A and B are shown apart, each in its own frame.
Chain A
């Protein structure tokens, strides 16, 4: 323990050098900008830096990358809140309540709480990383195919509650999402499914295209009706970027609860920030005293996923730092950069290169503080986007969507997919089919099916593998609770409502 603190202090001494501070700030701002652009996430931001890092030396390079990584996490939700266009998967949940808040003229509070929640979530997770990196990495290894399958089922079953009162259509959305996820080469057998001879479809449809299509294009199409009748409502006056006492009271616990959850989910290779933020959103909705406000601009519905997704981004570093296994797209790129610098991440990183590992961790704390400070005035600037009249703003959103999609794989086929999903999103909204279950299904669908078949192949066809470990049983229990809890809660609410008039 003392040793850890000493090492961390040593890390701070290096990370606090003015040159390194400057790099964190530079990385943070660059990351925020990259994160805001739809389709571009932290992975792109870090990749951008690789050529620059050659001249920097490993410590400085890692510190800058951490800055970018964090900055992108902060930035991703800016565009979710302001124009309903998530910068990447992890910022998806920020649209659910962030955008309604902006529509109600509370963009300032939304941007502020998102920065605050990101800061707190990231800091808590950094503390957890310092204390628990090794045990958490060992815990993550317990997840075999069976456990991954159950985790995906748990995540999907939670979305059932998201479409309350509309369950059938929620399921339709979910199943269509799973169908989209079956497109591509099936890894277990090598055969092509539903690719229609299109080469670009062999690796499947990137979920970002689905998200950008349904959210950004869907939103633009929806806005046409207000453009058509000239009822554009650009915000003219802007308040201070801060939150009220009441806002803080509502967000405090959701932020604190979501951080450890996000941290753990993030540490599982392949699960990541998107799942962490969606799970924490559902969690808070179920625990909330006023779930009906979720989706209408409840501030805790924004605070929780923001905290979780930043915590997850810290957790995702664990498999890379302690095992040398990249757990996400971004950490894969970071690892590539480390390798080019001649550093092999893995169990020996902390003993062989303490001069890189500890400053990196220290720079997480510093990066968080700097980003929170930078982001508040930056938000004051960004919020002016809402002053742009809709008929100019939405064409820009369209342009950004297309270039963002192009940046994912440099493929024109993705343009056409984007149009298809834009139309689908528009129609789904029109006929009142919820879109969130579909998106989550696209994200987890392939892993879910593959994990199931991996498990079955390992067990030679024995279904018992799905109840074969304590972890598997706990995941089953969580799924059952997440299905039953809302039902029980509804019943209790009904009873309360029946009893209420009598007590008056």
Chain B
């Protein structure tokens, strides 16, 4: 089954306009400067948001709006592959956030070993030996390289 090629211009334009409005509101709320002209730090962000809004509007006018609707419909009928990619991307982001949360508590080696294992089990499947080897060598090797060869201390193991 071949999917028709959709252009995302309309959708992009809408997202860009929303973002531009958000940035505009935040720019207007910036504190006034006490040194020099009070508005100085605000002009540039203000100009940027107006430009973004104008370009967003132009893109919206030029785009084929019927695609927006079709993209949303398409989302409901995603192919297996698309669904899986979305899942893999979300999973990676979730793991990365956990990685960040535990990094300074359990140290680089353990956190990285966990991170690499999780990602490898996702991409490489249940090849236990490869996964353990790659994760282990990577986390220990990079730790040694940074700590001893490069002199960039990474958080070490807990209890040490």
Contacts and interface: CB of A to CB of B under 8 A. Distances in A.
In the complex, are there CB atoms of A and B closer than 8 Å?
Answer: yes
Interface of A: 34, 40, 44, 47-48, 51, 168-169, 171-172, 175-176, 178-179, 182, 186, 188-194, 220-221, 224-225, 227-229, 390-392, 394-396, 398-400, 402-403, 406-407, 412, 415-416, 418-419, 422-423, 426, 430-433, 449, 452-453, 457
Given A172-B52, A172-B59, A189-B41, A395 B119 contact: yes
Interface string B80-110: 0100110011001100110110011000100
Contact of B52 (A176, A192, A407, A453): A176
Contact of A189 (B35, B49, B58): B35
Contacts of A225: 81, 85
A407 B26 contact: no
23 contacts: A34-B150, A48-B149, A172-B12, A175-B51, A175-B55, A182-B44, A189-B34, A190-B35, A224-B88, A392-B120, A392-B130, A394-B123, A395-B124, A395-B134, A402-B115, A403-B108, A406-B103, A407-B152, A412-B104, A415-B97, A419-B97, A422-B93, A452-B44
Contacts of A394: 123
Contact of A412 (B103, B120, B124): B103
B62 A188 contact: no
B97 A416 contact: yes
Interface string B30-63: 1111111000110011001101100110110010
- Helix, strand, loop or mixed for chain A's interface? helix
A171 B59 CA distance: 11
Interface of B: 7-9, 11-12, 16, 19, 23, 26, 30-36, 40-41, 44-45, 48-49, 51-52, 55-56, 58-59, 62, 81, 84-85, 88-89, 92-93, 96-97, 99-100, 103-104, 108, 112, 115-116, 119-120, 123-125, 130, 134, 138-139, 142, 146, 149-152, 154
B113 to A, nearest CB: 10
Contacts of B103: 406, 412, 415
A392 B160 CA distance: 31
Contact of B89 (A171, A191, A221, A390): A221
B146 A403 contact: yes
5 pairs of A and B residues whose beta carbons are closest in the complex: A189-B33, A431-B8, A415-B100, A391-B123, A395-B119
Contact of A391 (B11, B116, B124): B124
B11 A431 contact: yes
Nearest to A186: B41
Given A189-B36, A416-B97, A431-B9, 20 more contacts: A47-B151, A172-B55, A175-B51, A175-B55, A179-B23, A189-B34, A189-B40, A191-B33, A193-B41, A193-B45, A224-B84, A224-B88, A227-B88, A391-B120, A392-B123, A392-B130, A399-B142, A419-B93, A430-B8, A432-B7
A280 B32 CA distance: 40
